[in-house]
Homo-oligomer: A and B are copies of this chain.
Amino acid sequence: MSGTRTGESMLSRHLRILDVFGVDSAFLTLSQISRRSGLPVSTAHRLLDELERERLVERLPDRSYRLGLRLWELAARTPGALGLREIALPMMQGVQGAIRQHTQLGVRDGRDVVYLERLSHRDAVVSATVVGGRISLAASAIGHVLLSALPEEALADLFASGIPRYTKRTPQTLAEVAAAVTEVRARGRAVADGLVHPDARGIAVPVRGPEGEIVAGLGVVVPNDGRDPGPVVAVLRRAATGIEESLRRAYVAPGHPHALAGARYRPLINSSTSSMEYFDERGRAGQDRE
């Protein structure tokens, strides 16, 4: 009766704990964690002990837990994300100086955009995103830009897990998303009105790697007035070009002295997927057996 195994992997339980922390709930007590994660108190307690030993969580004097700095360290080693973010930062600052709203850099991860960096302005319109946050590819201008790099068939996959409906304009059908993507392909930029919040408009352009593949989306969130996005797009385009140049400089060609084992450039986004598994989240990296 006691000590019944659950059939769940250790790792996912640890993550279950880490996942109950959020921006709105950064400090949690043992019993809160136990309740939120659905894990028995004693189990949560033991796991938290371990996590603390590994500095993945920290314990405050009042006995509440919070996520630890080790996570920050690990994230910093994420390749591409880090390099790209650092390379893009100066250019983003330029955009920020010109637009004075929210400037964001996002990459694709599965069906979502993950925001790598975000510069904000005090008086800027609302914006739901945070650094490290994610949002459906269908529901953001940067997402539309990233989608434009994928083959047609990939779009359908987006709807497999449903798209959260933030506002009445959040696209819910394949046709809506396809239309947006078509426009991105035609005009080289995305303009998305009120997808996440009715008063916000997203404008985004692609950032391309040395081989032309779309590596990230660079965008701003501005008030959703009817103004011509042209000037904003121009600013973004210039910044994107700057990032692309820096990326090229950072590119170490094969055989170059800097090309330490494993350190050479690789596309952030795998653009060479073939079948229908664009958003495949499973581990199956392999060939299908008979």
B114 close to A69 (CB less than 8 A): yes
Interface set, chain A 69-114, CB cutoff 8 A to B: 69-82, 86, 89, 93, 107, 109-110, 114
How many identical subunits does the complex contain?
Answer: 2
The complex places the Cα of A260 from the Cα of B283 at a distance, in Å, of 38
Cβ contacts under 8 Å, A114 to chain B: 69, 72-73
A61 within 8 A of B: yes
Q: Which residue of B lies closest to A49 (CB)?
A: B283
A52 within 8 A of B: yes
30 A-B residue pairs with CB within 8 Å: A9-B50, A10-B14, A11-B14, A11-B50, A23-B82, A24-B260, A25-B263, A26-B262, A27-B262, A32-B262, A49-B283, A52-B285, A53-B282, A59-B283, A59-B285, A61-B273, A67-B75, A67-B77, A68-B109, A69-B109, A71-B74, A73-B114, A73-B133, A74-B75, A75-B76, A77-B132, A82-B131, A82-B132, A89-B119, A93-B93
B132 close to A52 (CB less than 8 A): no
Known: A12-B54, A53-B282. A23 touches B77 (CB 8 A): yes
A residues at B contact (CB < 8 Å): 9-12, 14-15, 18, 21-28, 32, 49-56, 59-61, 63-64, 66-82, 86, 89, 93, 107, 109-110, 114, 116, 119-120, 130-134, 260-263, 266, 270, 272-273, 281-283, 285
Known: A27-B266, A76-B133, A78-B68. A120 touches B283 (CB 8 A): no
Cβ contacts under 8 Å, A93 to chain B: 93
Cβ contacts under 8 Å, A54 to chain B: 11-12, 15
B72 close to A78 (CB less than 8 A): yes
Q: Nearest Cβ distance between residue A106 and chain B, in whole angstroms? A: 11
The complex places the Cα of A23 from the Cα of B80 at a distance, in Å, of 10
A26 close to B79 (CB less than 8 A): yes
Q: Which of A49, A67, A130 has the most CB of B within 10 A?
A: A67
Cβ contacts under 8 Å, A11 to chain B: 10-11, 14, 50-51, 54, 56
The complex places the Cα of A64 from the Cα of B261 at a distance, in Å, of 12
